[in-house]
Chain A
Amino acid sequence: MSEVLIEARNVTRILPGVVPTTLVQNVDLKIFPREFVAITGPSGSGKSSLLYLLGLLDLPTEGEVLIRGRSTANMAEEERARLRLASLGFVFQFHFLLPEFTLTENVALPMRALGELSPQEIRERAEGLLESLGLGEHRHKRPDQISGGQRQRVAVARALANEPPVVLADEPTGSLDSKSTEQVFSLLRSVVDDRGKTVVAVTHDLELANRMDRRVHIVDGRIVADDEVDRAA
């Protein structure tokens, strides 16, 4: 049995308010190494909410999330931030690159925040990542000087900067045209196949979801289908 990278145990997330809203309800989910997982479901079904819970961006109202078997329930915010920085990469629908920084500087950001590499090593790794994603020639440009697809590829490069075992992507192709969608999807595929990472991607595009290795379908905050690959094989 492979090591479980992320595990959600009976996770529920209720948004407080005059009328409390249940975003995710009693979810049990395990994410394994080298998986390419699609989280699908209708609009407002709780796909993104589940991803944020798995990525420690949000806290469950009930249940707990474990990262490599370690419970995060009682972790201080600072500790969760550190774990996120070292173990998880994020790609969002919008690239969220810092507009004043060059592509290299944007990719270097998580590495600099982690502070484990020398400035020379950080620059080399950031430029290497951009090069491997076909963006080497643009490395000195700022985000507003490249296309939307290219920006999303830079966001993927940034997610991979600290070599996290898992990349969590929230509608990574949601704002892209079909050509860019294909490019970004291929990139995420190669992140799994060539780099040996796990990618968990929220998508409403069923065609894309069907090309991934595992599909978790959510309706009204509950997992209604989980077509899991046989990990023992």
Chain B
Amino acid sequence: MNLVFEIAWTHVRTRARQTLVAIAGVATGVGFSIMMAALMEGSQDDFVKTLVNALPHISVSDERNRPTEQPAEQRYAAAEIHGLTPAVRRRGIKNPMATIAALEPWVPGALTPSVSAKGLLRYAGRDVAVSITGIEPRTEAKVSGLVTQMRQGTLDSLYRAPNALVLGDRLAEKLSAKVGATLTIVGSGNVRINGNVVGMFHSGMRQIDETNAYVLIKTAQIIENQTGLVNEIRVRLDDPMIARLVAARIGAETDYKSTSWEEAQEDLLSAFQVRNILMYTIVGAILLVASFGIYNIISTITHEKARDIAIMKSLGFRESAVRRIFVIESLLIGLAGAAFGWGLGYLLCVGLGSIEIRTPFADITRLPIAYTPRHYAIATLVALASAFVAGYFPARAAAGVHPVEIIRGAT
């Protein structure tokens, strides 16, 4: 065994009680850091997964990337024109099927046309404003998780009744409507039609379950009072994480506003970033506190070992060798603490993951835990870095000891 390592090992081994306390401090820090990271990331993953399943990965709307240029602006090179009535542009995506056909060859996923409408559902004397999406049930499974989110009825039921609707379960609850109920749909231009509830879905996102309804495309076109209207192309990607890039390219190629799920939920995702910064700050603080324990023990050892340091230096040990001894001691404690911390962290994760949580705001019945080696690696690296810093300063002080002063003091 290397001499420096052997001396370091002997020091920590012969001070079992102090060493164990320091190891316990690091282990607690690492364990709780792992648990906290697993819990935070687990809940984030769970939320994002729900979000990704509930929404199209990319939504191409009929909004143009640039404001429509008015004919007067095209004709006259004037700086500003006032008082003109702008030309009215027909709503919807031009040639939607041709646009889809142009995108399909390179977009890694599935695309489907749909109609996005705003309306009012009226039932039993209650009016509820809703977002109505006109879909094609046969291709819907390729672009959303709606098929798997059906709690009552099926999407194909939309074909079986005139102006059929599938409602979010919370929306149905709000309206007190059940499957089979006939309700009034009020669309733009005061269009009023009666529709039958043929199914209910549950996405897990309260906002969606409370405000969304699905109908056939042609029903949505009636509600929007425009035949042949397609004002949204919804895209589901094989890898939702590339949505932002694909959305940018679709936007550039079609000149229609193309929004990825990440952009649509930017506020939420930014909040996650803030939360992650907060989490890693707390994790760092926990490990920093643990490193004070290491600093304490290494300082104590260097103090107790002043004579040994003096004699080693008088024998001819280099300062760097003396410094290495105490840094190695610190790292040994850090490593042992990290190893025990892994076990503690894993057990805490398993324990927390088994706790059932019931909340009126979400469906999660168990705390979502993310098991990833990354958390263990980060906690270990931070613990070792803290251990190194905690050991380095007493080690440097020990290495700088003038042997003559200690020897004189001893004699």
Contacts and interface: CB of A to CB of B under 8 A. Distances in A.
A170 B403 CA distance: 14
A81 B313 contact: yes
Contacts of A98: 7, 308, 311
Nearest to B319: A77
A26 interface: no
Interface in A19-61: 48, 52, 55, 57-58
Taking residues whose C-beta sits less than 8 angstroms from the other chain, chain B's interface range is 20 to 34
Given A78-B318, A81-B313, A171-B411, A96 B404 contact: no
Interface residues of A, number: 32
A113 B411 contact: no
Given A96-B311, A101-B10, A81 B316 contact: yes
A60 B376 CA distance: 53
Contacts of B11: 100
Given A100-B14, A109-B3, A112-B3, A92 B407 contact: yes
Nearest to A80: B316
A182 B59 CA distance: 98
Interface stretch (A64-72, A82-90, A144-152, A183-191): A82-90
Given A100-B14, A109-B3, A170 B316 contact: no
Contacts of B404: 52, 57-58
Contacts of B314: 55, 57, 84, 90, 92
Nearest to A108: B3
B410 interface: yes
B317 A48 contact: no
A114 B315 CA distance: 10
B14 A109 contact: no
B138 interface: no
Interface string A109-126: 110111000000000000
Interface of B: 3, 7, 10-11, 14, 307-308, 310-321, 403-404, 407-408, 410-411
24 contacts: A52-B404, A57-B403, A57-B407, A77-B318, A78-B319, A78-B320, A81-B313, A81-B318, A84-B316, A85-B315, A85-B316, A85-B317, A90-B315, A92-B314, A93-B411, A96-B307, A96-B407, A98-B7, A98-B311, A101-B10, A110-B316, A112-B3, A113-B312, A113-B317
Closest 10 CB pairs between A and B? A85-B316, A96-B311, A84-B316, A112-B3, A100-B10, A93-B411, A81-B316, A100-B14, A58-B404, A81-B318
